[in-house]
Every structure is written in C-alpha cells, then in structure tokens.
Amino acid sequence: MRKHSNQTYNNYFNSKLRDKIGMNGNWVNLANNSVYTSTTRSMARFGLLMLNKGKWQNEIILNENYFNDATTTSQNINQAYGYLWWLNGKSSYHLPQTQFEFQEV
C-alpha cells in the first residue's frame, strides 16, 4: 500500500476512513494480527457507515460493490462468513477455528 499511495498504512487509513467519519483509535499488533482498538462510539460510526453501504453524509467512503461482496458468503466452507464479516441468517455456520458445521434451527 505504501508503494502505491506514498503513505504509511496508518496515514492512508486515517485520511480515507477514520477522519472522514470521525472515528478515533489506533492499530495494535497482536501476534500475527493487526487489530484496530477504539471506543464504542467510534465503532458505532463504522457500523453506520456499513449500514449505509459505505456512504457517509453522501460521500462514498467504501465502494458499494466491496460492501456487497464483504456481506455475502465468500466461500463454501462456512456459509455464515463473508470477507471478515460474520453473516446471520444462513442455513449453517461454523464457529471460529472449528470444523464442526451447525445447522440453523
């Protein structure tokens, strides 16, 4: 990302998403994962962005096609998983890190 945007990931994320919707927080490295920590209010702002399919006050922050792909089943192993999103209302699901398939009742 740095090569194509000439920015660090943090600067890119802040300018393209965080600052535009009024979030606060920071990225923390935990083992092999980078996790964004923030306040409940900031995460609610992110939820509103997703509820509006990537639009914030009539500005497109996230491409709607990406939003649709992220909130649709991404593979056949776990029907209840999109691209980093857990999806409710599917006919079956797997719990994280298990191979057991549970059927919706």
- Residue-wise pLDDT tens digits, 16-50: 999 999 999 999 999 988 899 999 999 999 999 99
Domain shared by 60 and 96, yes or no: no
Domain shared by 5 and 41, yes or no: yes
Domain coverage including residue 41: 1-69
Residue corresponding to tokens 């990931």: 9
Residues in the chain: 105
Domain shared by 62 and 105, yes or no: no
Segment (H or E) for 65? helix 64-70
Phi then psi dihedrals of residue 73, to 5 deg: -50, 125
Q: Is pTM beyond 0.85 here?
A: no
Q: How far apart are CA 105 and CA 91, in angstroms?
A: 8
Find the angle CA(68)-CA(81)-CA(55) to the nearest 5 degrees: 30
